[in-house]
Amino acid sequence: MKIIAWKRDRLEELVELWNKELAVDFPMRKELFIQNSFNDVNVSYEGSYIAVDDQDHVIGFVVAKRWQETIDVKMDPKRGWIQVLLIDSAHRGKGLGTKLLKRAEAQLKGNGVEEMQLGGDPFHYFSGIPDQYKNAQKLAKKHGYTKRVDTYDLINHLDKKYDLPVDNSVVFTILKKEEEVDLILFLERCFPGRWVYETMKYFEMNGDGREFVVVKKKGQIIGFCRINDSHSPFIAQNIYWSPLFEQEVGGIGPLGIDANEQKQGYGLAIVQAAIAYLQERNTETIIIDWTILVDFYKKLDFNPWKIYGVYLKDLK
């Protein structure tokens, strides 16, 4: 067995191993793997590795990330991520996972990373360790990671029709391309950081606005809700696992309302508007990823689908 550098020419084998081990819960597409594990500028190529056996077959890999964007948003440059650590089940219990994890951590620490997170990376697959993977949780704890919180993916199979909410004080609408700057300025003011970054990347990747529901008061944006479907300009996080379904799958989130406009029902209303717009696009199932607001979304018939534990580790 040997460990080699992270190489795109191993794509076929990497995706094959993923699907051998994880496809029942998280079916992988080549396009998604390229998008998230090769094309994301935050991938640490020097900190990501592939393990091969004596016949040069891929038997494991780790993808590490650190903040490397030139976009000026409020993201923590000292945070590092393990996007995925996967070992062929026939080769587990031999210390290979530990070896890959330690190598990745050491490389990230050498590049100034002070805190590690398992999942939750830019262009992530998981917000944390999936709850059903108990051995992965044990490995994390063994190597000093502490669980901070559980997060949820929620699902609604749309057994009824949802109408656009009626509120004479505001207007719910789909964002126009020419409103890009208005949306980004709103996000920088109200939600600086990751949501600004993700929105900038959306427009950079040829988004035209159809993936944003906005709520306006007196002509000004006071809230937003991201929606995704199979026609979105890239594969978005809440439709990653749509191959599990035969019908059209849509996604909702993130979303937020200006703090000065909260407590007026606009948050729930914009989710309802998002559902209505997705139904107009023939969506039959909607997924909300990475949330702790289970009771909030239950008001619109969303129920827990997947659970993840968020694990962090101090490298200082």
- Strands 115-118 and 79-87, how do they pair? parallel
Structurally, what CATH architecture does the domain formed by 2-151+310-314 represent? 3-Layer(aba) Sandwich (3.40)
Token pair of 59 as six digits = 């038997």
Given pLDDT bands bounded at 50, 70 and 90, which one contains residue 289? very high
What residues does CATH 3.40.630.30 cover in the chain? 2-151+310-314, 160-300
What's the DSSP call for residue 91? G
Cα 68 from Cα 302, distance rounded (Å) = 35
Q: At what angle do helices 30-37 and 11-22 cross, to 10 degrees?
A: 110
pLDDT of residue 4: 98
pTM above 0.75, yes or no: yes
Cis peptide upstream of residue 77 (ω within 30 degrees of 0): no
Using CA atoms, how far residue 304 sits from 144, 154, 180, in Å, is 28, 4, 33
CATH 3.40.630.30 at 160-300, yes or no: yes
Measured in whole angstroms, how far is the alpha carbon of residue 3 from the centre of its chain?
28
The SS3 assignment for 157 reads coil
Return the SS3 of 30.
helix
Mean predicted lDDT score pLDDT of the chain: 97
pLDDT in tens, 111-139: 999 999 999 999 999 999 999 999 999 99
